[in-house]
Structure 1
Amino acid sequence: MCSLNAAAQAEKVPAVDFANSCGNNRVEAQSDQNLSRQLDSKQTYPEPAEGKKVVAITLKQLNVFDTDKPEEDNALFRFANRYHIQTKPEVLKSVLLFQEGDAYNPKKLSESERLLRNQSYLYDARIYAVENCDGDILVTVVTRDLWTLLPDLSFSRSGGENTSRIGFRESNLFGWGKRLSFTHIQEVDRSGYQFVYDDPNILNSRYRGRVEYSDNDDGERHYIDVSYPFFATDTPYSYGFTSYSDKREEPIYSEGETISEFSQSTDVTQVYFGHSKALSGSWTRRLIAGVRHEQHTFREIADTTLPIAQDRTLTYPYVQAQWFEDSYVKVRNFDSIYRTEDLNLGWNINALFGYSAESWSDDTERLVYSFSANTAHYTSDHSLWRFYFDVSGNWNKDTDKTENLIAKTTFQYYLNTSLYESWFINASYTYGNNLTFDNQITLGGETGLRGYPIKYQQGSRSMLLNIEKRYYWEYDLLRLFKIGGAAFFDVGRAYHSHLPIEADESVLKNVGIGLRLAPSRANSDIMVHIDLAAPINGPDNVDSVQWLLTVKNRF
């Protein structure tokens, strides 16, 4: 056995793992049948030891469809496999945090697996490791490609308003992992054309870049970003540059109707440098220093009926600190259907502080601050809660008051009654103080109150409660979608308006049912929602039934 070469040793990993670990109908271990819905809980890597090296990396790339299975062996799926350009091996290897000859570190294997699953052109990924007779490590990387060249065609109706997209999108250009799209977009507030090019690994390096340009009927927008990110938990440094400019006409809503509009121009430029340091246990601390320039300009137009915000300019150096706890587990049937999800049970804490002096910005002196924290925790072997908190705003020296202070707290609770059914509760509260006239906190069909029109209520405070019975049926519709469903009850209220208008601030309620479609061969990071919702004792100006067709990234 010890005379076998590295490739042959790598083949000792059971073939069933290669065929099914990233497949649409994987063979599951008995340990995967648990109500916490954790996957691979029994998977272990060889123990690390001084001198152990990774001596071979073997790639096992699965195509979009498995035509060895009778149900997928048809002319259409064979055609798709034949003309699909598979991801280049060097692209996959550029994502890995280790190379042949590196010292063996099982944490780098686990994190590399997560990074691969995070790529938009892959449905799933697994990394296996075995020890050869010399005590070195043979690694096998298993991935399954997605079909990435797609027409960007969609139609959504939410709260009585229509949106549509017509164009194309390629998220793995020629197999090199680049993303390119050109789309005509018709939204509630504007319509126009959008071009996007995103390169997550420039020349197979760790540098990434993104370019966006939009030409809309109310203005234009550009976005340029080039950065060397914290691509791994132990990446020692990061730096980048961002330029953003957007000119548009913004509406003010009340009871789902536009009651005023104004023109807004926003220009943002930012440069930064960050340093990372590993702390005790699984914690990492990152410190970032940068300079940011923001300019917000407002103008009245023909449809302006309410006061508009005053122009704002901020130019400020800032310091940002992040504390990140790496405590990932693999799960299924939380935010997606069937697909492997990476859930972090650790904390992610961010704090930023900046100072915009009058001499720099030629505007009033401001202190800039933001703070966010989120985590998740299993409360039992079949229940999980998530917590999110963020606050941001400015302190205006001239008024000696906060400005655009917005704080939001969200609690989510999952109670898994079986492998395929859950109760889900989402409770959130948003608090705003001294908001300028360009900022609204809204509640309606697009923000969780599904029985009401888009942005039906507005104010500087809001509260929302969603209760859902979720069904993760995992039925494979046409071998293209995994199917789920939900029955839901929503109740919420937006109130304490800072605008000079009379508005409905009553508590609103609705019930409804919906289908969930999770693509399993393309665009696996989205979820199609088809919902029917009915208001409970709703106002006379709201339809008795609302139907919503929306595309989100979660169940």
Structure 2
Amino acid sequence: MLTVPSYAQKNQANPDTLKNTEADTTRKKLDSDKILADIKAYSKRKTIMGRLMKAVFRFDRKPEPIGVNAEVLNNQYKKHGYKIVRNIYIKNLDAFGYSITDTLREPVNFLEKAGNSLHIKTHQGRIRNKLLFKPGQPLDPLDLSESERLLRQTDYILDARVTVNEKTSTRDSVDIVVITKDIFSISAGGSYNAGNGSGRIVLRDINFIGSGHQIRNTYRFGLDSVQQSYEYTGSYRVENIYKTFISSELIYRDEVNYKQKGASLQRDFFSINTKYAGAIALNWYNIPTYVRLSDSTGRRQNIAFSTQDFWLGKSFRFKSYNLGFDNRARIITSARMIATRYPSPPTDEYQSNTFFLAGVGYTYRKYYKDKYLFGFGRTEDIPAGNLLAFTYGFENGNKYNRRYMNIKGGFGKYNREFGYLNVTAEFDTYIRDKKWEQGEIAADILYFTKLYHWDNWQVRHFFWGRTSFGLNRKYGENVLNVNKLQGIRGFSSDERGTRKFVLNYENNLYTPFSFIGFRFAIVAFADFAWLSTGNSSNPFLTRPLQGYGIGFRFHNEYTTFNTIQISVGFYPQGPTTIKTYPSTRPYYEFNDFIYSRPITSVFGDGIYR
């Protein structure tokens, strides 16, 4: 058993114990400890209500610390470099009732035990597949932090720790301890409208029988459409086949206005030390778009086409003459070929072609780990570093030829006092007959402050700016929107454009109050978005779309239910709405400073692709 106390647990008072001062009257009014003790006593009764209380609440949990300082994942185990890995001990915790920082904790109530009985733990072989070190081989300390990060980024693992057992380590060998905690992988949902007989069924399992296989299904029925009365989208994904870090995926999408069939094999530069990466992807599409006819009028029609995508990349590391220093900078070169075929192109703007691309990129990345960025308690990896990449291509078509150019750069900085700043910019365009077409300028700036302490209150601020400017886009390519994750939280509109600029602000205020184990955070946001519809129009000439709101995030240490966030939003362009945002889905995104394949920009998908 391994218990890893955090810095905050040693040096910070229990959040449930407020300062006993005359100015603090909140504690006296709520008297949460007495209420909790009464509920605990009531749960011991053999009545129906007592058994229900016992099934829902647990009373032995220690609250997660707030305000854990950031810890760099660089040189924690530098002293163990190049020692031989003797043994690897893996402890995989079930989804409910266990703690990654206290492996002695066990489920005690009915709901936790019932949830675990429905969940099959991840096979240890799947966990070993993510580790970058093996028994009998010399240890690169960087592989420890990289393995821990890879485990945390796995969809079906909530958190992970990879440490050296200092008690058994010797001058030439070490034992490694790996602790992971699963996510309850099965989810289902649905809806039904009795008025028109329509509905939706969702069924997913992202860790099928503990094998790491991911199955996703969404089915809609009773649609009022002439073409078809149903829609279905399904995918099947297998990660890290036979320890090669190659993933495969099958996807089938049959919707009224979007059809796709695809298969792919892919291996990314998953770690800093990865040497080779590549992919093969085959897809067939049938999607609607607006096409311009010979008389300059427009018409919406479906376009069928297929793509065959192949790429291969290699990473080159810089030499280091210091055995105690590992240079994380890499030069990556890659080549790509995309073959696109249109059986019946609607206009001359669409042509069957073969696209050849070559790229080179410089990347430097390292990671920090921190808590309380997008949720309560879960360890989160924060990327920092630099990226500069250049891609050049040639499109050989059956009607015309053109060149392609893409430049992308970015940097990220993290400091305990400064906070975090991530800046990324990208420019791409096609060049035909010395004229630029289908180009885009995109940029993202993400900044969040450190966790400020104000007595027992703690606060963090987030700022996010995004812009996408289309340059000489095709007719009908006004696909940009500012709905929900694309711009304004909780907002929905049919407006589409070719240029947009978005500003988001969010304030996360962690309160010191604890009531029957519940901890509270207040989330306030303000969103602004400018959207234009023409290739030459300025989005700032119009009044910005706006959204303002406040949310309440609840986290309970004693129940099996984890985090719930409810937000109320006001939009001057529309009615006041109430939305529930799942806390496991962060609104903000990091740029990971990874360069892999030569980039071909997909207009409207944002800079993270």
TM-score, structure 2 as length reference:
0.72
Cα offset, 1:285, TM superposition: 1.7
Aligned to 1:491: 528
Is 1:61 aligned to residue 86 of structure 2?
Answer: no
Aligned to 2:605: none
Aligned to 2:442: 408
- 8 Å contact kept, 1:35–1:381: no
Matched residue type, 1:429? T
> Secondary structure of 1:16's match?
coil
Is 1:377 aligned to residue 413 of structure 2?
Answer: yes
Match of 2:500 among 445, 454, 462: 462
Cα offset, 1:287, TM superposition: 0.9
- 8 Å contact kept, 1:66–1:73: yes
Aligned to 2:158: 123
- 8 Å contact kept, 1:490–1:509: yes
The sequence identity of aligned pairs, in percent, is: 19
- 8 Å contact kept, 2:262–2:282: yes
> Secondary structure of 1:81's match?
helix
Is 1:169 aligned to residue 214 of structure 2?
Answer: no
**How many corresponding residue pairs?**
500
- 8 Å contact kept, 2:8–2:67: no
State how 1:161-200 maps to structure 2 within 5 Å: 166-184=201-219, 192-200=231-239
Aligned to 1:45: 77
- Between the aligned partners of 1:441 and 1:372, the Cα distance in structure 2 is 22
- 8 Å contact kept, 1:271–1:291: yes
Is 1:284 aligned to residue 321 of structure 2?
Answer: no
- 8 Å contact kept, 1:289–1:320: yes
Q: Aligned pair in 2 of structure 1 residues 405, 188: CA closer, same or farther (>3 Å)?
A: farther
Aligned to 1:345: 384
> Secondary structure of 2:449's match?
strand
- 8 Å contact kept, 2:388–2:408: yes
Is 1:263 aligned to residue 302 of structure 2?
Answer: yes
> Secondary structure of 1:65's match?
coil
Cα offset, 1:62, TM superposition: 1.3
Cα offset, 1:181, TM superposition: 1.8
Aligned to 2:575: 544
Cα offset, 1:507, TM superposition: 2.7
- 8 Å contact kept, 1:427–1:466: yes
> Secondary structure of 2:136's match?
coil
Match of 2:423 among 387, 397, 403: 387
Cα offset, 1:69, TM superposition: 8.8
Q: Aligned pair in 2 of structure 1 residues 332, 154: CA closer, same or farther (>3 Å)?
A: farther
Q: Aligned pair in 2 of structure 1 residues 239, 483: CA closer, same or farther (>3 Å)?
A: farther
Cα offset, 1:336, TM superposition: 3.8
TM-score, structure 1 as length reference:
0.78
Matched residue type, 1:80? G
Matched residue type, 1:283? A
Cα offset, 1:432, TM superposition: 1.2
> Secondary structure of 1:326's match?
strand
Cα offset, 1:176, TM superposition: 1.3
- 8 Å contact kept, 1:408–1:429: yes
- 8 Å contact kept, 1:225–1:241: yes
State how 1:145-164 maps to structure 2 within 5 Å: 145-153=182-190
Q: Which runs of 5+ in 2 are unaligned?
A: 13-63, 193-197, 292-297, 320-326, 588-609
Matched residue type, 2:188? P
Cα offset, 1:39, TM superposition: 4.2
- Between the aligned partners of 1:518 and 1:362, the Cα distance in structure 2 is 59
Q: Considering only CA atoms, is the larger Rg found in Structure 1 or Structure 2?
A: 2
Cα offset, 1:509, TM superposition: 2.9
Aligned to 1:553: 585
- 8 Å contact kept, 1:315–1:356: yes
- Between the aligned partners of 1:522 and 1:402, the Cα distance in structure 2 is 57
Cα offset, 1:246, TM superposition: 1.8
Cα offset, 1:72, TM superposition: 4.8
State how 1:202-221 maps to structure 2 within 5 Å: 202-221=241-260
Aligned to 2:147: 112
Match of 1:275 among 314, 333, 340: 314
Cα offsets for 1:192-225 (capped at 9, x unmatched): 1111110112244322111101111235211211
- 8 Å contact kept, 1:337–1:483: no
Cα offset, 1:385, TM superposition: 1.6
Matched residue type, 2:215? L
- 8 Å contact kept, 1:125–1:144: yes
Is 1:224 aligned to residue 260 of structure 2?
Answer: no
Aligned to 1:509: 546
- 8 Å contact kept, 1:61–1:142: yes
With 262-271 and 233-242 compared, the bigger mean Cα shift is at 262-271
- Between the aligned partners of 1:164 and 1:484, the Cα distance in structure 2 is 34
Q: Aligned pair in 2 of structure 1 residues 114, 212: CA closer, same or farther (>3 Å)?
A: same
